[in-house]
Amino acid sequence: MDFSLSEEQHMLQESISRLLTTECPLNDIRELVDSGGDCLTEVQQKIAESGVAGILIPENLGGVGLTLLDAALIAESLGGAVAPVPFIASSVMAPVALLEAGSDEQKEKWLPQIASGAAIFGTGVTEQIGNREDRGITASADGLNGTAMFVLDGMSADMLIIADDSGCMHLVDSQASGLSRQKLKTIDRTRTVAEVILDGVTSEPLPGSHSNREPLLKTIDAGRLMLAADTLGAAQYMLEKSIAYAKERKQFNRVIGSFQAVKHMCSEMVAELEPCRSLIWYAAYAGTSIPAEARMMACHAKAHLSEVGQFVARTATEIHGGMGVTDLLGLHYWFKRIGFNRQLLGAPELVREEAARAQGWV
């Protein structure tokens, strides 16, 4: 049995990587971050035109009907380029939520718009993972009330999927009366998250999530898997930059890559990072084909990549020395993206506890 990627999957990832290399250079990212913008609109449009926005959406609804593994390969490429475009929430979590819990009418209305790039979705599910006492969403006859923190892609979204305290997910228009949102400042300026305040906001529940938490859990698991893949891509970039730098930077008339300590640091990064690739592949495969293992593997992938990504980010910065923290080199964009991925949708300790529960250990 062949456990490697297919030729089509290699071509998919390579085409996205080439597009990002051309359309998403570091200077454009730096300008966007300095201006306080939310995403590179032109890159977002070209990604939508390539079919990426509809990666998980069935062909009969305007998408390309691929799998979580294909989406993870795209997320890896986006992480490698620290691309400031909505993907995890709009192209993965929202379609999963709609496919798992939406009515036929909701699917037919929104999935084609997501696939074409006509509608951007944000997702607010953080309160289902770890909620502060003064945060959370309640649903009543008056509408949705409360505050949703760390809503992914929340500032650029046309529509939001918000989970209330019972786990039921709701479709909410980002321009609805009684809704306000503000951009949260985080260490990672290449991805936007929002605080969304709801005061009697009219919503449209996803009927399949009423009294059934499975659609919500699958949505969260898909997001965690994409974050892990994004971290893999960012860490791989930092590793490659470190090796290249070690081959050209000289000290005492020798390239630093000839020093045993630097060799060991590079080797350790490779040894830690390479097994993560197969972990993500299997977790993505399980999410599509092995439901009994899907939750456990998504948790393991998220927790493990959070730790390995942090190790690679620190070691790569150390190899670059003082240059590693300069804006001229820009390595800090990848460093911060890895750090923020670690916290989004659950820190490693919390996610490992969920994995233990999924295996019946707690």
The mean per-residue pLDDT over the stretch 11-15 comes to 94
Q: Is the pLDDT of residue 13 over 90?
A: yes
User: pLDDT tens across 168-215, in order?
Assistant: 999 999 999 999 999 998 999 998 899 999 999 999 999 999 989 999
Question: Could you give the domains of the chain?
Answer: 7-116 (1.10.540.10), 121-209 (2.40.110.10), 214-358 (1.20.140.10)
How large is the average pLDDT for residues 150-174? 94
Question: What is the DSSP annotation of 270-326?
Answer: HHHHHHHHHHHHHHHHHHHH-HHHHHHHHHHHHHHHHHHHHHHHHHHHHHHGGGGG-
Contacts by residues 271-275 (CB-CB < 8 Å, ≥ 24 positions apart):
272/308, 272/311, 272/312, 273/232, 273/235, 273/236, 273/239, 273/308, 273/312
Q: The whole model's pTM is what?
A: 0.95
> Residue 322 above 60 pLDDT?
yes
The token pair that represents 277 in the structure block: 């690739």
Question: For 194-198, 247-251, 306-310, which range has the lowest pLDDT when averaged over its residues?
Answer: 247-251
pLDDT of residue 130: 74
pLDDT in tens, 262-299: 999 999 999 999 999 999 999 999 999 999 999 999 99
**For the chain, what is the mean pLDDT?**
93
Average pLDDT over residues 114-143: 87
pLDDT confidence of residue 348: 95
Indicate whether 1 pLDDT > 70: no
* Mean of pLDDT values over 49-70: 94
Task: Return d(Cα 267, Cα 257) in angstroms, integer.
Answer: 11
Angle between helix axes 291-320 and 348-358 (nearest 10 degrees) is 160
User: In the structure, what pLDDT confidence band is assigned to residue 2 with cuts at 50, 70 and 90?
Assistant: low
What is the structure's pLDDT at 233? 98
Strand-pairing partners, residue 194, are 151, 183
What is the distance between the alpha carbons of residues 148 and 186, in angstroms, rounded to a whole number?
Answer: 16
Check residue 296 and give its pLDDT: 95
Pick the range with the lowest mean pLDDT from 71-85, 121-135, 276-290: 121-135
Strands 121-124 and 159-163: parallel
**Is 60 exceeded by the pLDDT of residue 153?**
yes
Contact 188, 336 (CB under 8 A): yes
- Could you tell me what percent of the chain has a pLDDT over 70? 98
Quick one: pLDDT band at residue 134, thresholds 50, 70, 90?
low
Residue 133 pLDDT level (bands cut at 50, 70, 90): low
Of residues 146 and 131, the one with the higher pLDDT is 146
Q: 283: Cβ–Cβ under 8 A, 6 or more apart, which residues?
A: 225, 228, 294, 297, 298, 300, 301
